[in-house]
Chains A and B, each alone.
Chain A
């Protein structure tokens, strides 16, 4: 039992340090990333914001898009797997680092792209038949 408790306590300590140590600010906004760009070069960061419509370019090398927060914008490049809900206007959190942090237009190199969706749940606006459901999913 003492061993069980020790395992639990050690795991708890690891989780608290790993999960809450630097993660109370889970992601930084483009404005915050750009404001701290000279100091956060080569630091692994999470950048969160909206995918600016009209900026998503997919190619054989991966994807390039712009994340904005209404004030600032940061260009993101990477070859991360994209969740199905990824698209223009979608909230995203990308993980990686800011390359060229001291330059005028730094680029965020992302290895992970996460989708941050809202808390609204609505059926498709048309009659909820199987066909419209499929169409909604394919969109």
Chain B
């Protein structure tokens, strides 16, 4: 942590108060901007709702259920896409964290935090839906199988990512600390995916994302891909909407901090001089 704190702060190239201005915005930033505008968010929401509806009809009514498991197997059409969007989230967190550490541009940090929150949501959903599936088929809500354990670790790492953000008083420092967690935490994603290959467990090996052809009937695979598409659109919608609220929050924070009278500082300073030997120092909040 100390080495991170000592790193020179990445300087935003654009003026911090107004990071827009088309002249020096990268193509990625323009795309993010379009997706996170109110129209972009609206149409992503519409696309997600349509795809989720179609996916629900196909996976519940159109495709046949697995011969051995029966209708319970239909949980696959939500459990697997939830896991996929969790992987996607953490890949985006890692990418955006690296971009933020390199460029210091706040839109990368917004993308990282939005994706991390979506990742925590979808990882939790993956575990909950897997639990519902595991109870009738395996015979247990939970077991300390390597796949389940590494997935729970993933959830906790990104909960940690979100907790670390708020730790320093300086939001830029919080963003940098969490970016490091976002980069290092991604190492668990391949471990989760390959846990079923590396170690013995109860969880079955991969059906689709594996070397060779998927071990699944074609109609089921098509339904699964539709469900993955629908979840990905939902994910994009949630991330875009969350980035928009984060931008509003960052602007508000900046305006408060750059206000001529810094809140708290002026009235406290003379008092602090008078009671310099008092047992409660300033910044006692850091004791948590």
A: residues with CB less than 8 A from B are: 1-6, 8-9, 11-12, 15-16, 18-20, 23-27, 48, 81-86, 93, 112-125, 128, 133, 136-137
Q: Contact between A137 and B207 (Cβ–Cβ < 8 Å)?
A: no
Considering the complex, give the chain B residue whose CB is closest to the CB of A80: B139
The answer to whether A123 and B66 have CB atoms under 8 Å apart is yes
Range class of the B interface residue count: 35 or more
Q: Is the CB of A116 within 8 A of B70?
A: no
Q: Is B220 an interface residue (CB 8 A)?
A: yes
- Answer whether A119 and B199 are a contact pair too, CB < 8 Å, given A26-B145, A26-B146: no
Residues of A contacting B217 in the complex (Cβ-Cβ under 8 angstroms): 121-123
Known contacts: A8-B163, A83-B136, A117-B137. The answer to whether A124 contacts B64 by CB under 8 A is yes
- Known contacts A114-B139, A119-B205; is A8 also within 8 Å of B66 by CB? no
Give the complex CA separation of A27 and B140 in angstroms: 15
User: Cβ of A23 and Cβ of B160 under 8 Å apart?
Assistant: no
Min CB–CB distance A80 → chain B (angstroms): 8
Which of B146, B220, B286 is most buried by chain A, counting CB atoms within 10 A of its CB? B146
Partner of A24, one of B139, B156, B199: B199
Contact partner of A114 among B143, B148, B166, CB < 8 A?
A: B143
Number of A-B residue pairs, CB cutoff 8 Å, is: 135
Q: Complex: how many Å from CA A11 to CA B149?
A: 12
Shortest distance between the CB of B140 and any CB in chain A (Å): 6
Interface residues of B in 202-218 (CB under 8 A from A): 202, 204-207, 215-217
A113 and B139 form a contact (CB under 8 A): yes
User: Are B143 and A119 closer than 8 Å at their CB atoms?
Assistant: no
Q: Is B271 an interface residue (CB 8 A)?
A: no
**B32 contacts partner chain A, Cβ-Cβ < 8 Å:** no
Q: B262: shortest Cβ distance to chain A, in Å? A: 21
Q: CB of B180 within 8 A of chain A?
A: no
Shortest Cβ gap from A4 to chain B (Å): 4
In the complex, are the beta carbons of A117 and B68 less than 8 A apart? yes
In the complex, the answer to whether B167 meets A5 with C-beta atoms within 8 Å is: yes
Which residues of chain B are near A115, meaning CB under 8 Å?
137-139
Q: From residue B285, how far is it (CB to closest CB) to chain A in Å?
A: 9
By a CB distance below 8 angstroms, the chain B residues around A9 are: 160
CB neighbours (8 Å) of A81 from chain B are 139
Quote the shortest CB–CB distance from B209 to chain A (angstroms): 11
Do B138 and A121 touch across chains, with their CB atoms under 8 A apart?
A: no
Among B70, B136, B202, B288, point to the contact of A93 (Cβ < 8 A): B202
How far is it, in angstroms, between the C-alpha of A122 and the C-alpha of B159 when the chains are bound?
A: 37
Q: Mark B184-202, 1 if CB is under 8 A from A, else 0.
A: 0000000000000001111
Chain A residue nearest to B136 in the complex (CB) = A84
* CA gap between A108 and B72 in the complex, in Å: 30
Question: Which A residues are in CB contact (< 8 Å) with B156?
Answer: 8, 11-12, 15
Q: What residues on A are CB-neighbors of B70 within 8 Å?
A: 133, 136-137
